[in-house]
Amino acid sequence: MYYQAKKVVIIIVLHAFLLSVALSCIFPFLWMINVSFKDQKEFNSDYGLKFPRRLNWDNYKEVILKEGFWRYFLNSIFYTFITVLLIVLVSSLSAYSFSRLQFPGKNVIFYMFLTAMMIPLPAGFVPVYILLKQLHLLNRTGYVLAMTNMGLSLSIYLLKTFFDQLPRDLEDAARIDGCNKLRIWWHVGLPLVAPALAVVVIFNALNVWNEFVLASLMFTNDNLMPLQVGLMEFSNRMVTQHTLIMAALTVAALPIILLYVRMQQQFVKGLTAGALVG
Amino acid sequence: MNLAVKEKTVNFSFIIPALFIFTIFWVYPFFYTFILSFQENDLISPPQFIGWSNFKVVFTSPDWWSSMYNGAFITFWALTFQNILAFMLALGVDKIIRLRKFYRIVFFILPVLSEIIIGLLMKQFLAGEPIGRDVLNHLLHNIGLGFMTESWLGTERVRLITALVHCWKGFGWAFVILLAGLQSIPEQLYEAARIDGASAWQCFIRITFPLLMPVITLVVVLTILGTMQAFAMILALTGGAGGLTTVPVMVIYDHLRHNIAGLAAAEGLILGIILVIVSFTMFFISKKIREKYGVLSS
């Protein structure tokens, strides 16, 4: 009886602790969404701590249509999509080759990719920026290529180790049926590594979507800016318009939160993969 | 013979796209950083070789070292407060059965969101205008903790608060990694120890802690690397606060923005070398500890 009671108390204390931390994670976002439905006058009187009198979509209309957030949003989707597509194609091609095919210098080149993953380059954006400026590749092309490179090493490593664990029977069968290597990669290899590809896609998509430093340096044209840079510019311009900033933040954060809650397993896998192989 | 060469060429061609991008965007910039750090380069006039003088400037620059101090200060809080909190949460979630999934989802929301979003949101939350009666203070007032109100992002508190927001954003990471580590420890070990009469504390010190050592080292190294390179969140939150929360990458970024590229490269190089040394030392120390306590590496 005594042990029972002690156990119950411990569980209650534990949940109180965990719940309070969880609340600290959720509360600011609830507040953010709450404020985004208020007008500035209402916000000034209650600081967003009361529910809005009515669902007021004006802030969203202003942010998305007038302030061009639809454009930032589409830009971000575009860069993310192209970069992830490039990374998947390029990294799976080379991972397949590193795992299955023979050529001289294979191991040296593979270890080069591995080392690149482990050396921290805190100012890596300096030479990349200068290079792209000299090549006149600032803005879109340069940004997509530089971001592709950022995800490449890890993706190659993940896919190569996944390929290594797979049996070769299917590929042998395809070869006997007269498939060339490129078609084996596309028709047999890629479908087989689909689970690892999911991790690669999520890891890189979030990486590109959330990237700020390079984007803020590279985009000289306001119409081409991705969401994070747009957010930063917008909040610098609108310092005192709290409700508008909160609507903008909601527009930027809510899709990611919803996507994450729906696919949380893959998100956790995708994001920790980067940490655990390093 | 000819056929073999042809085949190898075909095999090699598979990695050409990756090698191409990698050479242009990693290998070349990597070596270019070294060259750049010995140059005076304003990105307009032709660069000039100036020997070690960039490094001399960096080593004697109070701004640079104060940014390193700020980075180290935030790293200290991340290593202690953030990681201990994450460890306690991981231990807690590992013990309970109900709501486990819920906690995992909630704790990992912050790492999923971008640094800019977190920074801007917390800026509004902590220091929305008008100063003195901002949201958090208003909230504290409402729940009867009026005596705790502060100017959260004022000069006295800003460094600490920035460090705490950084911890708040980052603890989910450490939590997920540590929880995965905890769950990989076989249950039989605890059962055997309990039969031998070990207390919960002894189980923790003799089983959990040593077996978790590699994971803890990993978390420590990742925390140092991540925090010393923190940038966007702090830019969004304080914008540097007049030097009080300037972190190294912010200095590098500013110098590049002002076209002092050589100096920026030198600073990046110094920080990079320090980080490489730190992470290698950490792995070395943890290997020593594991050898001493006879725990096999995972």
* Cβ neighbours of B145 in A, within 8 Å: none
Domains of chain A: 2-58 (no CATH), 63-277 (1.10.3720.10)
ipTM of the complex: 0.88
C-beta separation of A48 from A71 below 8 A: no
> Are B180 and A275 a contacting pair at CB < 8 A?
no
pTM, full prediction: 0.89
Candidate from A15, A120, A275 with C-beta closest to B275: A120
Q: Where are the beta strands (DSSP E) in chain A?
A: none
Kind and range of the H or E element at B49? Answer: strand B48-49
B49 phi, psi to nearest 5 deg: -75, 125
Domains of chain B: 62-293 (1.10.3720.10)
Asked if pLDDT for residue B83 goes beyond 90, the answer is yes
What residue of B is the nearest CA neighbor of A202? Answer: B112
Q: What is the tens place of the pLDDT at every residue in B146-172?
A: 677 777 777 778 889 999 999 999 999
If pLDDT is split at 50, 70 and 90, which confidence band does B129 have?
Answer: low
Strand partners, B39: B49
Using a CB–CB cutoff of 8 Å, tell me whether B24 touches chain A: yes
Tokens matching residue B51: 């020997």
Write the DSSP string, A85-106. Answer: HHHHHHHHHHHHHHHH---TTH
pLDDT at B131 over 60: no
Q: How crowded is residue B161: how many other Cβ atoms within 10 Å of its Cβ?
A: 22
Of B18, B108, B142, the CB nearest to A91: B18
* More confident call, B274 vs A171: B274
By the CB < 8 Å criterion, does B10 face chain A?
A: yes
Structural contact between residues B270 and B58, judged by C-beta atoms closer than 8 angstroms: yes
Report which of residues A129 and B243 the model is more confident about: A129
For residue B155, the model assigns a pLDDT of 73
The pLDDT score that the predictor gives to residue B296 is: 47
Q: Which long-range contacts (CB under 8 A, 24 or more apart) does B75-80 make?
A: B75/B223, B75/B224, B75/B227, B75/B228, B76/B163, B77/B160, B77/B163, B77/B164, B77/B166, B77/B167, B78/B163, B78/B166, B78/B167, B78/B170, B78/B223, B78/B226, B78/B227, B79/B220, B79/B223, B79/B224
Residue A140 CA to residue A143 CA, distance in Å, equals 5
Q: How far apart are the first and last CA of chain A?
A: 49
- pLDDT for position B137: 76
- B220-242 as b/e: b if 16+ CB within 10 A: bbbbbbbbbbbbbbbbbbbebbe
Distance between CA atoms of A234 and A192, rounded to whole angstroms? 44
Query: Any chain A CB within 8 A of the CB of B81?
Result: no
Mean pLDDT estimate for chain B: 86
Read off the tokens for A258.
């919803």
Report which of residues B255 and B298 the model is more confident about: B255
- The answer for B95, left when phi > 0, alpha when psi is -120 to 50, beta otherwise, is alpha
pLDDT of residue B298: 41
Give residue-wise pLDDT tens across range A220-261: 888 889 999 999 988 888 877 888 888 999 988 988 999 898
User: Between A275 and B92, where is the model more confident?
Assistant: B92
Residues of A in contact with B184 (CB under 8 A): none
- Do residue A252 and residue B29 have CB atoms under 8 angstroms apart? no
Rounded (10°) CA dihedral A136, A140, A143, A148? -120
* Nearest-angstrom CA–CA distance, A139 and A224: 7
| Of the partner residues A101, A124, A213, the one whose CB lies closest to the CB of residue B231 | A213
Question: What token pair was written down for A267?
Answer: 């998100």
* Least confident stretch, A107-111, B85-89, B150-154: B150-154
Mean local confidence (pLDDT), B142-147: 73
Structure tokens at B46: 């032709």
> A273 falls in which pLDDT band (50, 70, 90)?
confident
Find which of B91, B102, B116, B129 to mutate to test the A interface (most A CBs within 10 Å of its CB): B116
Instruction: Indicate the average pLDDT of chain A.
Output: 87
Count of CB atoms within 10 A of residue A31's CB? 20
- Start-to-end CA distance of chain B, whole Å, equals 45
Please tell me whether the peptide bond between B130 and the residue prior to it is cis, using omega within 30 degrees of 0. yes
Give tens-digit pLDDT for A115-133. 888 787 888 888 888 888 8
Percent of chain A with pLDDT over 70: 98
Peptide bond into A28 cis (omega under 30): no
Q: Do B124 and A246 touch (CB under 8 A)?
A: yes
Where does the pLDDT of residue A209 fall: very low under 50, low under 70, confident under 90, or very high at 90 and above? very high
A181-193 in b/e form (b: 16+ CB < 10 A) is: beebbeebbbebb
Question: Is it the case that residue A161 has pLDDT exceeding 70?
Answer: yes
Q: What is the DSSP string of B175-210?
A: HHHHHHHHHTS-HHHHHHHHHTT--HHHHIIIIIHH
**Nearest residue of B to residue A12 by CA position?**
B96
CB count, 10 Å around CB of A168? Answer: 12
Q: What is the per-residue pLDDT for B294?
A: 57
Euclidean distance between CA atoms B169 and B172, whole angstroms: 7
Q: Which of B17, B29, B116 sits opposite A231 (nearest CB)?
A: B116
Residue found under tokens 């030479």: A127
Each residue of B90-102: pLDDT tens digit? 999 988 878 888 9
Q: Is the pLDDT of residue A187 over 80?
A: yes
Of the given ranges (A210-219, B248-257, B285-294), which has the lowest mean pLDDT? B285-294
d(CA B178, CA B181): 5
CA–CA distance, B64 with B217 (Å, rounded to integer): 28
Q: Which residues of B touch A102 (CB under 8 A)?
A: 8, 11
Chain B residue numbers touching A129 (CB-CB < 8 A): 256
